[in-house]
Amino acid sequence: MKIKELLTAGIGTIMIAASIGFALLVTGCSSGEESLQSPDGRLSLTTGLKDGRAWYTLKRDGKTIASSSSLGFKLQDGSLKEGLKLNAARHDSFDETWVQPWGEEIEVRNHYNELTLELQEAEGKQRKMDIVFRLFNDGLGFRYNFPEQENLKEFVIMDEETEYTFPTDARSWSIPTNTTYYEALFTPEPLSQKDTVSTPVTMEVADDLYLVLHEANLTDYACMNLTPVQKENAPEGSVTVRTALTPWSTGEKVFASAPFATPWRTIIVADKPGDLILSRLMLNLNEPCRIEDTSWIEPGRYIGIWWAIHMNNYTWCQGPKHGATTENTMRYIDFAAKHNFSGVLVEGWNYGWDGDWSLYGHLFDFCKPYPDYDLEKLAEYARQKGVRLIAHNETGGAARNYEQQLDSAFALYQRLGINSVKTGYVNALMDHKELQHSQYGVRHYRKVIETAAKYGIMIDNHEPAMPTGLQRTYPNLMTQEGVRGQEWNAWSTDGGNPPEHTCTLPFTRGLAGPMDFTPGIFNFSNPVLPETHPHTTLAKQLALYVVLFSPLQMAADMIENYENQPAFSFITSCPTTWAKTVVPNAKIGEYVTIARRDRHSSNWFIGSITDAEPRTIEVSLDFLEPGASYKATFYEDGEGADYRTNPYPVKITEKEVNSDTTLTLQLAPGGGAAVRIEKI
């Protein structure tokens, strides 16, 4: 960053010195306090040592957000948290703007002030540990660094004891850690009443204070979970949650070797729910892109031989109802070409599905197609039509079997022009033993992403470890599941996802990264389980294309259900990567409106959704270019639409609008509205 920019940004001389590489050293202050401010001065962090233990506090506008919270580890070789001294404190600052190959906006500003505490045990082994704090305008990130040193080489983390103490309890959304594949409904309870939960945890502290606890850049580590703890001498009314890392089957949490850095622990701080969606703190705390040429990475829409399998019309395995046949796939390719979809997902194309495929030890072959699926011919047919097959790689949790085939499978796909793979790990454990969100799982997923990058392959990962912003470094990691998605509306015996679910996701799981939720069901009848179907109107299915961000976005229904449906034109016109995002209004779990501008035109798209309550939503179009005229096409809940009784009516209308226009959208119970705004 240039010095002039720093001055205009109002940053004092000290920071200028720091930003151009002169660290400020503070030595010999073993019990002193250090402080740090966000670039806009609203957030302030104080940290230091008390009785040899590291702690931090966080304030906004002088008011406490996190009161004194302690830091440290239990290692196999004794704890690393007590008896510490401060060797030095270094300040630094940073400001750059980087470009996303795809995303919710093009440019991201990475602007923070940094403080590093260099700590060391005063006695005994005298092991060293640094804690790095970065304060952004939208929150805090901090991580532990274990520098190279004599008395700490290979080491085992038994527990990370990072704590977050809040002065008051808060309504908080999360899912329990023991949820399989994170496929659960986020429910709001007071933070103090939670069991051990996965992050993100989204807290509504006050009308003007929202916090999200999560992590960034999860590399060779275990996923973070949080658990409430009772602290002795805790201030009246305060609540403390402590990190609970996902363990290996043998109980250890992380095997490490110095030099070693943990993922960043993050607290997003926002005045209103919509600002949570605009925070780029997690991406900023990941490493810059490691893929030199990203031109082959192509966001897009896809359809698939998929919903019909979940509805029991087809099977994954061979037999009379096999879905992945050559003929059927050609039908899907034709449809994709006609309606401008870039990909066709085909599930059940390869050997391994016969018998109970989710049993332990069941092994898939990722190169060998079933006899009724002519892979070579289909790849060529797709190529001629300008469409690509998406290979499905269900592993049944057999990660090692998959790793053994990664190179040969990805080389085959590359030769055939297949540039995306949907991976899956349906099994309670990986390789009979380890949790998906353990260090074992995290290592496996990284290997898949890195190998895929070598072969020019994009990844859509199902049954993942919780995303942490890795797509900045590896933008071929397009989208992931780890969410209770649309498939639950096919077979869940509880009837499917309730209307508030998609009004909660943008503020919870959606903050961890793109979701392969797979919207777009048009036919709600379910012969097998009549009570199970989307609890939305059809217009709300359309609005989800804007509300739920994913650079690979599926139109999930069977293609026959899109024939002669005027509402389908919203899906086929809606981009999957954006130049800009705004959130005109939102209340977590109740309603949300998101507007996004296309990357390749001046067109805007709006999605507005509600829970079970009907609502009138006003949306000011002040984000449009002043003075310009636009044609708006509305896809709204039609006469009598109601998710319980009559989900289908969609009213499609047009009107001229400009930046002075305020739209009034009528959302039915469980309804939504989708709007396309094209510059005239």
Residues labelled catalytic: 487
Spatial distance between the Cα atoms of 466 and 363, rounded to a whole number of angstroms: 25
Q: Which residues contact 421 (CB under 8 A, 6 or more apart)?
A: 390, 391, 392, 393, 410, 413, 452, 457, 458, 459, 460
Alpha helices in 325-398 (DSSP H): 326-338, 375-384
Strand partners, 586: 592
CB 452 within 8 A of CB 459: yes
- How near is the Cβ of 464 to ligand NOJ at its closest, in Å? 10
Q: Does 394 bind ligand NOJ (CB under 6 A)?
A: yes
b/e map 319-347, b = 16+ CB within 10 Å: eeebbbbbebbbebbebbbebebbbbbbb
- How near is the Cβ of 651 to ligand NOJ at its closest, in Å? 32
Exactly one of 29, 426, 429, 529 binds ligand NOJ (CB under 6 A); which one? 426
Q: How far is CA 508 from CA 56, 296, 514, in A?
A: 25, 30, 12
Q: Does 424 bind ligand NOJ (CB under 6 A)?
A: yes
Residue 390's nearest CA partner among 368, 367, 365, 422 is 422
- Smaller CB distance to ligand NOJ: residue 375 or 556? 556
Q: Which of residues 284-343 bind ligand NOJ (CB under 6 A)?
A: 306
CB 324 within 8 A of CB 346: yes
With CB under 6 A, what is the number of residues at the site for ligand NOJ?
Answer: 8
- How near is the Cβ of 352 to ligand NOJ at its closest, in Å? 11
Whole-angstrom distance between the N-terminal and C-terminal Cα of the chain?
39
Query: 3-class secondary structure for 510-536?
Result: HHHCCECCCCCCCCCCCCCCCCCCCCC
- How near is the Cβ of 462 to ligand NOJ at its closest, in Å? 4
Record the tokens describing residue 464, joined without a space.
């993942």
390: exposed, middle or buried (Cβ count in 10 Å: 0-12, 13-18, 19+): buried
Alpha helices in 314-421 (DSSP H): 326-338, 375-384, 399-415
- Smaller CB distance to ligand NOJ: residue 134 or 462? 462
Q: Which of residues 464-523 bind ligand NOJ (CB under 6 A)?
A: 481, 487
Spatial distance between the Cα atoms of 290 and 18, rounded to a whole number of angstroms: 27
Cα angle at 585 between 581 and 591, to 5 degrees?
Answer: 110
- How near is the Cβ of 192 to ligand NOJ at its closest, in Å? 33
- How near is the Cβ of 394 to ligand NOJ at its closest, in Å? 4
Exactly one of 462, 501, 533, 535 binds ligand NOJ (CB under 6 A); which one? 462
Spatial distance between the Cα atoms of 552 and 33, rounded to a whole number of angstroms: 47
Q: Which residues contact 21 (CB under 8 A, 6 or more apart)?
A: none
- How near is the Cβ of 179 to ligand NOJ at its closest, in Å? 14
- Smaller CB distance to ligand NOJ: residue 253 or 437? 437
Three-state DSSP at 667 gives strand
Diameter of the chain by CA atoms?
77
The DSSP secondary structure of 199-258, one letter per residue, reads SPEEEEEETTEEEEEEEE---SSPPPEEEEE--TTPPTT-EEEEE-PPPPTTS--EEEES
CB 80 within 8 A of CB 157: no
Binding mask 647-666 for ligand NOJ (x = CB under 6 A): --------------------
Q: Which of residues 148-167 bind ligand NOJ (CB under 6 A)?
A: none
- Smaller CB distance to ligand NOJ: residue 114 or 394? 394
- How near is the Cβ of 372 to ligand NOJ at its closest, in Å? 19
- Smaller CB distance to ligand NOJ: residue 138 or 487? 487
CB 658 within 8 A of CB 621: yes
Q: Which residue is nearest to ligand NOJ (CB)?
A: 394
Record the tokens describing residue 524, joined without a space.
């709600």
Q: Does 127 bind ligand NOJ (CB under 6 A)?
A: no
- How near is the Cβ of 567 to ligand NOJ at its closest, in Å? 24
- Smaller CB distance to ligand NOJ: residue 91 or 437? 437
- Smaller CB distance to ligand NOJ: residue 485 or 575? 485
- Smaller CB distance to ligand NOJ: residue 306 or 568? 306
- Smaller CB distance to ligand NOJ: residue 49 or 544? 544
Q: Which of residues 253-282 bind ligand NOJ (CB under 6 A)?
A: none
- How near is the Cβ of 489 to ligand NOJ at its closest, in Å? 13
Three-state DSSP at 540 gives helix
Spatial distance between the Cα atoms of 655 and 631, rounded to a whole number of angstroms: 6
- Smaller CB distance to ligand NOJ: residue 141 or 396? 396
Spatial distance between the Cα atoms of 470 and 478, rounded to a whole number of angstroms: 10
Binding mask 333-372 for ligand NOJ (x = CB under 6 A): --------------x-------------------------
Binding mask 67-96 for ligand NOJ (x = CB under 6 A): ------------------------------
- How near is the Cβ of 495 to ligand NOJ at its closest, in Å? 19
- Smaller CB distance to ligand NOJ: residue 394 or 611? 394
- Smaller CB distance to ligand NOJ: residue 298 or 481? 481
- How near is the Cβ of 424 to ligand NOJ at its closest, in Å? 4
Record the tokens describing residue 118, joined without a space.
């260099």
Record the tokens describing residue 297, joined without a space.
């990475």
Sheet holding 458-461, edge to edge: 477-480, 458-461, 420-424, 388-394, 343-346, 300-305, 552-554
Residues that bind ligand NOJ (CB under 6 A): 306, 347, 394, 424, 426, 462, 481, 487
